[in-house]
């Protein structure tokens, strides 16, 4: 599949985007090992989350999908999971693999975690090492998936200093800590998204935080609860970008999660001159939400603060396009983590933007993007949903049509992406390759 995007004049609009992927994954896993029933509304029925749902069902958890966005989970408790019949295929989801590894290393049975071609090429030593220190036994393919997790390990709590800021690694260690003797602590070098800690708290687990240290005591009981999943800020970022770089648009995106550990994208864009405001701030459970209003703006390049990197790690493909549409040059540094995502996102965005006439200079952990005008052309997503969507939005503001190749992966995180852009009057079509 490919996107064919024709330069478009945007309408003013009010839109919604699908539920938060990070929260949806965690609701499935934590609801499964809780006692009692967890009712989830606003669930993201994308391919990644559906792979997690199927994995939990294969371990004996009763999960009913009442409709596309409402699910009911009858939890089995910390030790109630059963041995699956075969490997657990987690598709394209690094979040699912890393968090599930932390949860499964405390079980009595063996399990195997695998995924698609992209996922089995992603580094897993970052979780294998701390989990091994806790007593887990995990076999890998030289640090790559599939992961074979041996059951029956007696886990011990540890005090772990994260070498690289990563919510996935932090969450894997904390979930393993639920099965460990004593206290497990993680110290972050920079703030990362805290959905795991918030949801654990909602389910009755005492999570202690002191500065950048997060701690849980082992063997606590989780209690099922109602989870309302907000709209995903990472998905809203594409709508924000489209409105910002349009000639004249005023767009409202409703009910978006604005957890302060996720809003780096807004801070960075506002520093570039973006007219973005949060309206009607409120809470869904323990997660802050708001309606996000975006008006077309003249953006200006400059250095992006490294301190904001961990708060916007998934949104850098969007930021590359914003930088390309800005006046002057934008310097990104400290983003080497992007090279080991679903694709090498620095290289993929640099290549795509160069094809569209933008000057981009790469470095091992960053890039300099010189603002300009997007020409037309054919660009490659490298099988990465965020690359595909970012370059599609660039196409709406280009001088000639843009074709984005290999876009089937967009459904992993943003089902209905094309319909959402069409609501803004963007001319986007899905064609066969």
Q: How far apart are CA 34 and CA 226, in angstroms?
A: 12
Q: How far apart are CA 244 and CA 221, in angstroms?
A: 46
Q: How far apart are CA 327 and CA 249, in angstroms?
A: 19
Tell me, yes or no, if 85 is annotated catalytic.
no
Strand partners, 332: 367
Identify the active-site residue in 314, 365, 411, 419. Answer: 314
Q: How far apart are CA 346 and CA 332, in angstroms?
A: 10
| Neighbour-count burial for 12-50, b at 16+ CB within 10 Å, e otherwise | ebebbbbbbbbbbbbbbbbbbbbbeebbbbbbbbbbbbb
Q: Where are the beta strands (DSSP E) in 230-313?
A: 250-257, 275-284, 287-295
Per DSSP, the three-state class of 307 is: helix
State phi, psi for 381 to the nearest 5 degrees: -85, -15
Put residue 416 in one of left, alpha, beta given phi > 0 → left and psi -120 to 50 → alpha. Answer: left
> Pick from 315, 194, 216: which is nearest to 264 by CA?
315
State phi, psi for 183 to the nearest 5 degrees: -95, 140
> Pick from 193, 207, 197: which is nearest to 22 by CA?
193
Report yes or no: 331 and 366 within 8 Å, Cβ to Cβ.
yes
Per DSSP, the three-state class of 375 is: coil
Q: How far apart are CA 18 and CA 234, in angstroms?
A: 10
What number of other Cβ atoms are within 10 A of residue 139's Cβ?
12
Put residue 162 in one of left, alpha, beta given phi > 0 → left and psi -120 to 50 → alpha. Answer: beta
* Residue 156 DSSP symbol: B
Q: How far apart are CA 199 and CA 344, in angstroms?
A: 31
Tell me which residues are annotated as active site. 314
């Amino acid at each position: 599949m490919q996107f064919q995007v024709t330069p478009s004049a945007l309408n003013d609009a009010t839109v919604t985007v699908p539920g938060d992927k990070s929260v949806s994954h965690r609701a499935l896993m934590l609801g499964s090992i809780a006692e009692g029933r967890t009712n989830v509304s606003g669930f993201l029925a994308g391919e990644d989350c559906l792979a997690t749902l199927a994995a939990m069902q294969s371990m004996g958890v009763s999960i009913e999908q009442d409709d596309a966005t409402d699910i009911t989970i009858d939890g089995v408790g910390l030790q109630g999971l059963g041995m699956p019949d075969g490997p657990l295929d987690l598709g394209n989801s690094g979040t699912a693999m890393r968090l599930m590894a932390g949860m499964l290393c405390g079980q009595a049975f063996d399990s195997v975690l695998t995924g698609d071609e992209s996922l089995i090429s992603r580094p897993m030593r970052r979780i294998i090492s701390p989990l091994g220190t806790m007593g887990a036994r995990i076999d890998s393919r030289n640090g790559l998936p599939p992961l074979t997790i041996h059951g029956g390990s007696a886990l011990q709590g540890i005090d772990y200093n994260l070498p690289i800021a990563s919510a996935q690694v932090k969450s894997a260690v904390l979930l393993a800590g639920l099965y460990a003797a004593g206290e497990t602590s993680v110290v972050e070098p920079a703030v990362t998204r805290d959905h795991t800690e918030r949801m654990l708290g909602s389910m009755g687990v005492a999570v202690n935080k002191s500065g950048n240290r997060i701690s849980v005591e082992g063997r606590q009981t989780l209690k099922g609860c109602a989870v309302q999943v907000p709209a995903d800020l990472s998905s809203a970022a594409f709508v924000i970008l489209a409105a910002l770089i349009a000639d004249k648009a005023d767009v409202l995106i409703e009910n978006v999660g604005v957890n302060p550990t996720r809003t780096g994208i807004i801070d960075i864009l506002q520093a570039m001159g973006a007219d973005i405001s949060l309206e009607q701030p409120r809470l869904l459970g323990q997660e802050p939400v708001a309606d996000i209003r975006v008006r077309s703006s003249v953006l200006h390049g400059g250095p992006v603060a490294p301190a904001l990197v961990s708060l916007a790690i998934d949104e850098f493909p969007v930021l590359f396009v914003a930088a390309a549409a800005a006046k002057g040059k934008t310097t990104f540094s400290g983003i080497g983590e992007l090279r080991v995502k679903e694709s090498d996102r620095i290289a993929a965005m640099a290549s795509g933007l160069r094809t569209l006439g933008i000057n981009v200079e790469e470095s091992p952990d960053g890039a300099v993007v010189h603002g300009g005008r997007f020409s037309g052309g054919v660009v490659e997503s490298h099988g990465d949903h965020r690359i595909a969507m970012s370059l599609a939005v660039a196409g709406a503001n280009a001088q000639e049509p843009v074709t984005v190749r290999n876009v089937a992966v967009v459904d992993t995180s943003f089902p209905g992406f094309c319909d959402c852009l069409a609501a803004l009057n963007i001319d986007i079509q899905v064609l066969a390759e």
